[in-house]
Amino acid sequence: MNSYKIAAIPADGIGPEVIRAGLAVLDAVAARDGGFTLDVTEFDWGSDYYKRHGAMMPADGPEQLKAHDAIYFGAVGAPDVPDHITLWGLRLPICQGFDQYANVRPTRILPGIKAPLAGIGPGDLDWVIVRENSEGEYSGHGGRAHKGLPEEVATEVSIFTRVGVTRIMRYAFALAQKRPRKLLTVVTKSNAQRFGMVMWDEIAAEVAREFPDVTWDKMLVDAMTVRMVLKPQSLDTIVATNLHADILSDLAGALAGSLGVAPTANIDPEGRYPSMFEPIHGSAFDITGKGIANPVASFWTAAQMLEHLGEPMAAARLMAAVEQVCAAGIMTPDVGGTATTQEVTDAVVEAVRGANA
Ligand code: IPM
Ligand code: MG
């Protein structure tokens, strides 16, 4: 029997609440499946750890994580620690250090969830956004000179490499090929950005030749926002740069009814390092400790984790259980329900136990 080593990092705010919920559901899925077990180690890293130790994680943190098959991550961010410290101290060093270059964000309207577009319901919007997660506009290249003076200058340089663009294109084409519609939209801005984005387009066309059965098209990012709102059914798999996909995935979450249910996977497709799975929502300290955090995003990302570990049946069973519970209206207040985190969790555990799939 396979046993997977999972590193759980609940971290800040509602992170511990939704990770606890997710682990309960994962236990039920593993028990129901019978074919694998999860060996979970919890790490107490995050903003409280920072206040005690002056760092978000120990210096050998990444080394400790390497021994795991996957990382299940809650959220970082605290009201009294600057965001760039929490982010660059924990989540980003893991993403970058483990070369998790594919950030995968599925979006669907779950049954029972009210989405804002008139006439658009479950089935009309079924996308996966692939976000380049290692370079581009967020590569951290730039600087400031003459600080505070009238002639102050700041640069924020986008870095696009042939290796980086080729590998994310291959990942996106391969993912599109696995989905029933075999349809990929490459987001670009090559009309205005003549260098990096033109190379991006050229490499997309080169990689497309390796996937003759995938239908693909190209959209300028500004026009893409219009298409997402007016013709959501025309899209399936989407690939975009770090910045473009960051923005488009928030729009996607809103169009699906709530960012609160949106999951994300930070994947090293070559499997050299553990990949990391997390809900997109942040630490949400306004509702921390109230027991009403929506655990659906952490369930959905747990399903992504099972899929990545090679347990697609268990992943499908978990998502079916989540959809069944949403359809029954057992939801937290952020999506219009009255249930607590615990009630939603119990209902999903029940649904997993009863599943005959
Ligand atoms: C996301 C988040 C992060 C990002 C923030 C917290 C830096 O918005 O996962 O989209 O943009 O990378
Ligand atoms: Mg974002």
- CA 267 centroid distance within chain: 9
Q: Above 90 in pLDDT, residue 21? A: yes
Tell me the pLDDT tens digit for each residue of 230-253. 999 999 999 999 999 999 999 999
Q: Which atom of ligand 1 is nearest to the CA of 282?
A: 6
CATH node for 1-100+289-357:
3.40.718.10
Task: Say if ligand 1 is within 6 A of residue 87 CB.
Answer: yes
Q: Which atom of ligand 1 is nearest to the CA of 249?
A: 10
Choice from 56, 91, 131, 246 to test ligand 1 binding pocket (greatest atom count within 8 A of CB): 246
pTM for the full model? 0.95
Those residues with Cβ within 8 angstroms of residue 215's Cβ, 6 or more apart along the chain or in another chain = 182, 183, 184
**CA geometry: angle 240, 138, 90, nearest 5 deg:** 115
Q: Which of 49, 126, 189, 273 is labelled catalytic?
A: 189
pLDDT of residue 356: 59
Tell me the pLDDT tens digit for each residue of 154-196. 999 999 999 999 999 999 999 999 999 999 999 999 999 999 9
Q: In this structure, are residues 96 and 78 in contact, taking their beta carbons and an 8 Å threshold?
A: no
Active site includes 268?
no
Output the CA–CA distances (angstroms, integers) from residue 55 to 42, 45, 66, in the order listed. Answer: 18, 9, 19
**CA geometry: angle 353, 126, 204, nearest 5 deg:** 125
| Ligand closest to CA 262 | 1
Q: What share of the chain is helix, strand, coil (3-state, %, to 5)?
A: 45, 25, 35
Tell me the pLDDT tens digit for each residue of 294-345. 999 999 999 999 999 999 999 999 999 999 999 999 999 999 999 999 999 9
| E strand or H helix at 154 | strand 153-159
Distance CA 355, CA 134 (A): 39
Q: Which of 39, 83, 222, 290 is labelled catalytic?
A: 222
Task: Say if ligand 1 is within 6 A of residue 280 CB.
Answer: yes
Active site includes 189?
yes
Residue nearest to atom 4 of ligand 1 (CA): 246
Residue nearest to atom 8 of ligand 1 (CA): 246
Domain borders along the chain are: 1-100+289-357
Q: Which of 246, 268, 273, 346 is labelled catalytic?
A: 246
